[in-house]
Chain A
Amino acid sequence: MDRIRLKAAMEAIIFASVQPLTVDKILSLCCTMKDCEIDKESIRSLLEELEDDFSKCNRGVYLTEVAGGYQLRTKSDFAPLIHKLNEKKPPKFGRALMETLAIVAYRQPVTRSEIEDIRGVDSGGTLRALLEKRLVRILGKKEVPGRPIIYGTTKHFLESFSLRNISQLPALKEFVELEDQDEEVFK
């Protein structure tokens, strides 16, 4: 099977999948095609080529690696148009929600009271909302008296915020103020 045909097949399944497709999944699907003998390495290089193809040609969509897989997305330049198409308001993110989410993302596994210690306010409502939006999930219970629930982020979170994996989160900035200047100490 020639590369061009294979690339087209990959484009088709990534398009149809919507969810990010892992290299493994792409490999196993492609191997079901007639005359297709391919390995992981080749799939990866083809994906890179595909990524390039899209970015070279001034298209409205692009291929990206996110949440451990590959996904086709519309370019952010066209977001306003798509909102009009959608006839919906662009979602806004409340500060409470984002603060709680950031704490879970950086501190996971984390309990509700640990979150509340940092924020200084009750966070039950925001946690519930984050669970509903599937940005946060319950990992289990902590093996301490009271057996509090521990939380972590989801794959959907990675996908929504365009992260390849959790370690792609930008480093936390520890600000130390020296008189009028802010000196950033990256930890």
Chain B
Amino acid sequence: MDANAGYKVKLDSFEGPLDLLLHLIKENEVDICDIPISTITSQYLQYIEMMKLLNLDLAGDFLLMAATLIHIKSKMLLPQPDDEDDEEEEIDPREDLVRRLLEYRKYKEASKELVEREVTGRDVFLLGFAEEVEKSSVDSDLDLSLFDLLQALSDLLKTSPPITSHNVNLETVSVKEKIVIILDRLESQEHITFKSLFDRDTSKDHIIATFLAILELAKRKTIRTFQGESFGTINVTKAYPARTIH
């Protein structure tokens, strides 16, 4: 029985397939103009599977891109039919995708630069805080990207010890309980590592529930997740000011 069946973390459309692809391209350190389509496609599909596993709201765009990638991959594997017209250049099946990625990245970079400027309400102020750029309900930003956290989860699942206890009783794992556990720990310890939050999790269901709890708390901005100084260590802290859970 999966107590998390009905639990969906709704992450608004703030990270889409192009974002994921750019992330994979960066992770693999490959040339965006010469994407190893096989590798990227299989990694992309792995992420989709993981998101399904976590019951994350999967936008149709992600699935459409999966189909696109598979289509491109198949085109690249199949030999091109002989063309009567020899002048016709062979079109790289990746071309359109690469164009879209480069275009998207252009604006992604521009948005990063924009946010670095002096912003009213954050860096500079006007008389009596008159013109503040207010927070929006659509802001569901995690300090770390969702994919960074998914990567960490995937690493965790790989290295977690095999489950040896065979519990006959159906243990239902509640995300709400995990939320309480995490907040309790943050009361006594300012900084915790992401990994240590899973210390007491003995089964996959527990790990997933804890992960969903972290996502929920990060989304509510009750906690903050960020990369520590040492490469790869993710840390979790309380967000300021502390908020209570209903």
Contact = CB atoms under 8 A, between A and B. Distances in A.
B131 A121 contact: no
A57 B77 CA distance: 69
Given A123-B13, A132-B136, A173 B31 contact: no
B32 A177 contact: yes
Contact of B110 (A120, A163, A172, A177): A172
B31 A177 contact: yes
A176 B214 CA distance: 37
B136 A102 contact: no
Interface in B79-124: 100, 102-115, 117-124
Contact of A102 (B17, B114, B140): B114
A48 interface: no
Interface stretch (A26-34, A89-97, A143-151): A89-97
A119 B18 contact: yes
A123 B108 CA distance: 14
B163 interface: no
A169 B38 CA distance: 38
Contact of A118 (B107, B115, B118, B123): B107
A90 B118 CA distance: 13
B104 A119 contact: yes
Given A161-B114, A177-B32, A91 B135 contact: yes
Contact of B61 (A75, A97, A122, A133): A122
Given A75-B124, A126-B14, 18 more contacts: A18-B126, A18-B127, A18-B128, A72-B126, A74-B124, A79-B122, A89-B240, A91-B135, A92-B135, A92-B141, A94-B139, A96-B14, A101-B114, A120-B100, A121-B14, A121-B61, A133-B136, A159-B131
Interface of B: 12-19, 31-33, 59, 61, 65, 100, 102-115, 117-141, 145, 239-241
17 contacts: A74-B125, A74-B126, A93-B139, A93-B141, A94-B14, A94-B141, A99-B107, A99-B108, A121-B15, A121-B18, A126-B138, A128-B138, A133-B134, A169-B110, A175-B102, A177-B32, A179-B31
